[in-house]
Amino acid sequence: MTPQTDALPTSFTDTAHATPAARISEARRLFWSIRRELWENRAIYIAPLAVAAFILLGFFYSTVRMPAVMLITDTVNGVVTHTSHGIDPILPYTIAAGLLMATTFLVAIFYSLDALYGERRDRSILFWKSLPISDLTVVLSKAAIPLVILPLLTWAVTVATQSIMLLINVTVFHARGIDTGPLHSGLPLTQNSMMLLYHLVAVHALWYAPIWCWFLLVSAWARRTPLLWATLPPIVLGVLEMITLHSGHVFEFLKYRIHGPGDIDFTASHAGATMPMGATMSISPTQFLTTPGLWAGLALAAVFLAAAIQLRRYRNPL
């Protein structure tokens, strides 16, 4: 059969063949791919925003209703101290930061485990693969969510939440006739926000990078239940080691990765006085950057990512 070119409507005349197609840079494809991830996984920003709204509501209520005597604080040399009746006014701010961090941490876990699994489960991988985007770009855009987007988003939402809390604090204190002096001079919010940023980048992005990339690898590989495949094998391996070799190297390794090396212990050592990850802040970036475990972890993360990219080439819908 001869194709009927005369049947083509005039509005769709063949002009594109004459003009070479516009070039689209890899950076632009990466940008659109990350945007696409945010469209698909709206929990990435809705979850922290919802928690922030909940925190602000609770904070407002408690600031308005709490007996004035419990809110009065003193400053010594410009630093807020406990009074006999008062609660350290920084504590709600610290709790807010901790809650937001925990929220985005959970979001990162579930996101990473579903990122390369969901597209195979719902067959949409066939649509994505029909478009001129390389597997490298797709996997990098998915890795960018836990490694870049979520830490920065956590920081931004936390800073915004704490700023609004401070505003509520000052306004309510003013209305109730409580001295707002200690709030202005004594709350180390700016300092804390810089420490929070450092913690998020150092621990959540860099130190945990191999965990996120492992989750992505499992989500590219697993035929079902990526959560179990990501968590059970290491645990089973650890138990087997304990039974057969009576040693605990696997669990030591896992603990080191999750908990951090001894001197980068970011769990609350003196909760309330500083941010929950206070101890991390006490170590210098130089000390952190010279920890071999950091670089070993990043190398492992790169291997996991490369494997995930290769797997996505071979994987078809489930």
Partner 1 sequence: MTTIQATGLHKSYGSSVALNSIDLNVGEGRILGLIGPNGAGKTTLLNAILGLTAYQGELSVLGRNPWTQRDQLMNDVAFVADVAVLPRWMRVSDAIDFVAGIHPRFDRTKAETFLARTTIKRTSKVRELSKGMVAQLHLALVMSIDARLLVLDEPTLGLDILFRKQFYDSLLNDYFDHHLTIVITTHQIDEVQYILTDLLFIDRGNLVFGCSMEDFDTRYLELIVNPGQLPAARALKPIQERQTFGRSILLYDRVPREQLAPLGDIRTPTIADVFVAFVGQPNQPAPYSPPPVPTPSSYTGAAQ
Nearest partner of 101 among 60, 55, 168, judged by Cα:
55
Cβ-proximal residues to 244 (8 Å cutoff; 6+ apart), any chain: none
Residue closer to partner 1 (CB basis): 22 or 76: 22
Identity of the residue, 23 or 224, whose beta carbon is nearer to partner 1 in the bound complex: 23
Q: How far is the CB of 38 from partner 1 (least distance, A)?
A: 11
Q: Is 129 in the site for partner 1 (CB under 8 A)?
A: yes
Buried b / exposed e across 148-160, counting CB within 10 Å, b at 16+?
A: ebbbebbbebbbe
Minimum CB distance to partner 1 smaller for 170 or for 306: 306
Interface with partner 1 in residues 65-124 (CB under 8 A)? 119, 122-124
Single residue of 66, 102, 131, 167 touching partner 1 by CB under 8 A:
131
- The DSSP 8-state label assigned to residue 201 in this structure reads I
Buried-exposed string 191-211: b where 16+ CB fall within 10 A, e elsewhere = ebbebbbbbbbbbbbbbbbbb
DSSP β-bridge partners for residue 308: none
Among candidate residues 90, 203, 215, the one with its CA nearest the CA of residue 154: 203
Taking the least distance from each CB to partner 1, the nearer of 82 and 129 is 129
Using CB under 8 A as the binding rule, whether residue 27 contacts partner 1 is answered as no
9 is a site residue for partner 1 (CB under 8 A):
yes
**Apex CA 239: angle with CA 236 and CA 241, to 5°?**
110
123: tokens are: 């067959």
Report phi then psi at 213, rounded to 5: -70, -30
Cβ neighbours, 10 Å, residue 183: 20
User: Does residue 3 interact with partner 1 by CB under 8 A?
Assistant: yes
**Per CB under 8 A, 169 contacts partner 1:** no
Query: Using the rule CB under 8 A, is 16 a contact of partner 1?
Result: yes
Q: Is 22 in the site for partner 1 (CB under 8 A)?
A: yes
* Helix pair angle (209-221, 292-314), 10° resolution: 20
Stretch 33-52 residues interacting with partner 1 (CB under 8 A): 33, 35-36, 39-40
For partner 1 (CB under 8 A), the number of binding residues is 43
Please report whether residue 11 would count as binding partner 1 according to CB under 8 A. yes
Which one, 23 or 65, has the nearer CB to partner 1?
23
270 touches partner 1 (CB under 8 A): no
Q: Quote the least distance from Cβ 41 to partner 1, whole Å.
A: 9
Q: Which residues of the chain form contacts with partner 1 (CB under 8 A)?
A: 1, 3-5, 7-9, 11-12, 14, 16-17, 21-24, 28-29, 31-33, 35-36, 39-40, 119, 122-127, 129-135, 137, 313-314, 316
